[in-house]
Amino acid sequence: MANKNISMSKVRHIMKLHAQGMGKKRIAQRLCISKNTVRLYITLLQRLQLSLQELQKLSDHDLNQLLHPPEKVLAEGRLKQLFDFFPEVDKQMRRRGMTVAQQYEQYRLHHPDGYRSTTFYKYYDQWKKQVYPSMHIEHKVGDKVYVDYAGDTLPYVDPDTGELKEAQVFVAILGWSQYAYVEPMRSQTVEEFIAACENAFHFFRGIPLALVPDNLKSAVFKASKYEPELNENFKTFADHYGIAILPARIRKPQDKAHVENMVKLAYQRIYARLPEGAVLPLEELTRAVAEHLAVFNRSPLSGKHCSRYDQWLAELPTLHELPAQRYEMRRIKQVTVMKNGHIYLTEDQHYYSVPYELIGKKLRLQYSRSVVELFENYKLVAVHKRLRSSHQYTTVPEHMPPQHQYVTQWNPAFFLDKARAIDPVVEYYISQVLARKAYPEQAYKSCQGILSFGKRVGNARLINACRRAHEIGYYNYKTIEDILKKQLDKYEEDPVATAMPSHANIRGGNYYQ
């Protein structure tokens, strides 16, 4: 066969000129083709054993099928063995980590006289295209949004603990305009995945008809070729936003080619432009990603005079309006109130307070991405903003017993206010007690004890006791206690000495001068 097929019109000229008795060399010169090509086509025509009239009646398609039959028709011998082996190759390629090179080794093991690797790869590609032909997907305006996670993570630091963590990078793209959204998230949990999809809708400022996710557990509970079972929370989220969920087929990246390509572009246009070696808090990392994403979306598309942003403006009117309120996914657990009046949220390793009367009781814990609520017999007893700092406490003072509430209020200003209400003398004395400790907390108990004398012996005696203690320069609880116990506070000043009477046996004070 000739190295390159020639047009059927030249083949017909070869037939006609050969039938007229013209030599192969002259035919080649007249048609400007190789002499060997002329020889090969004449040989093929002679093998067909058809007259010139019969060949002339054939259409170009039929004549081409006779001269260039499909390769699979000619498959015989080694080629047939090779094509018979390809279904097994396709089956084995579904295994994780399997490569075509490993399958070629198996082929050579079973067929030592078979084709070499280059021919093996060539025919395997041809076989795949025949068995699994790719289809061009025509994207409609406002029709679908494709979502996925990038394989590579981005590092970030938790400002509460200083711990280094890896952010899962969420990617979404509108099918028609190719307007993209990228956001680093804490994890791929259902809660985080729903939040990322919701953020994407608000970024697009509208909702398309359908969302196409991968078969990750956060979206699909049980994968199926025909009827996949959606995660219950994700299904509720889809109902809230009025969007259909169309999971991609398993191991069929072509079903979401747009987002697969967007992941690669994110590596080039966003990942590569982030500060090298810098580890930022998640909020700052999110802002940096958003800045590079904005530049990417407004960059001109290859071969077009517009950007993704321009196409999104045209697609925006076709998107459905966002609901008035965001979706709040809620999880429910049963918890027991600990002896310290707190419950423990295992997922965040964080403690939240409840009224102390509920210690030891079982409560229903209901929490979303932003709020934690606790119920006793369907009655709401506590509400907290959700925090994710591990091994930390969120405490409402009103939830604590009165004696504990009183202790939590202790600070220098608290004791000074209490003392000022009694008298400025007591206030000054308390200030000196606080000032004589390296840490004010060390004097709180002393201050509490001193002020408690006001209720036990009366404010008047306490004032006098503080004045007396100040005169001798001692500032502590023990000094005030001793003064009050010995009733030294009742003496306004030292008694005046009585003059000694005159007597012959008494020398008197002048004697010693």
What is the biggest distance separating any 2 CA atoms in the chain, rounded to whole angstroms? Answer: 183
pLDDT tens-digit readout, 140-182: 788 888 989 988 899 998 887 788 889 999 999 998 888 999 9
Question: Rounded to whole angstroms, how far apart are CA atoms 252 and 255?
Answer: 6
Question: Rounded to whole angstroms, how far apart are CA atoms 182 and 196?
Answer: 9
Question: Rounded to whole angstroms, how far apart are CA atoms 508 and 205?
Answer: 108
Token output for 440: 């004010």
Is residue 230 within 8 Å of residue 211, measured between CB atoms?
Answer: no
Is residue 353 within 8 Å of residue 341, measured between CB atoms?
Answer: yes
Task: For 144-318, give the CATH class.
Answer: alpha beta
pLDDT tens-digit readout, 301-351: 877 788 999 989 988 998 999 988 888 777 888 999 888 788 899 888 888
pLDDT tens-digit readout, 81-90: 888 888 888 7
Q: At what angle do helices 477-485 and 444-456 cross, to 10 degrees?
A: 20
Question: Rounded to whole angstroms, how far apart are CA atoms 230 and 237?
Answer: 11
Task: For 8-67, give the CATH class.
Answer: mainly alpha
pLDDT in single tens digits along all 513 residues of the chain = 445 677 878 888 888 888 888 888 888 888 888 888 888 888 877 777 777 777 777 777 777 777 776 554 444 568 888 888 888 887 787 675 678 888 899 898 888 888 888 888 888 888 877 765 554 455 678 888 898 998 889 999 888 778 888 999 999 999 888 899 999 998 888 888 888 999 999 999 999 988 888 777 676 766 666 667 777 778 888 888 888 888 876 666 665 677 888 898 899 889 988 888 788 898 999 999 999 999 999 998 877 788 999 989 988 998 999 988 888 777 888 999 888 788 899 888 888 989 888 888 899 898 887 889 999 988 899 999 888 877 777 888 777 766 544 445 567 788 888 898 999 999 999 888 888 765 555 577 788 889 889 888 889 999 999 988 988 888 888 888 888 888 887 766 554 555 556 656 566 556 555
DSSP character at residue 512: G
- Rounded to two decimals, what is the model's pTM? 0.49
Question: Rounded to whole angstroms, how far apart are CA atoms 129 and 118?
Answer: 17
Token output for 168: 């899962």
Question: Rounded to whole angstroms, how far apart are CA atoms 384 and 395?
Answer: 9
Q: Which amino acid is it at 169? A: V
Q: Is the four-CA dihedral 393, 396, 402, 407 of positive or negative sign?
A: positive
221 DSSP β-pair partners: none
* Strand ranges in 377-487 using DSSP code E only, listed in sequence order: 379-385, 392-394
Rg (Cα) of the chain, in Å, rounded? 45
Domain-wise residue ranges, the chain: 8-67, 83-131, 144-318, 331-400, 410-490
Question: Rounded to whole angstroms, how far apart are CA atoms 380 and 36?
Answer: 93
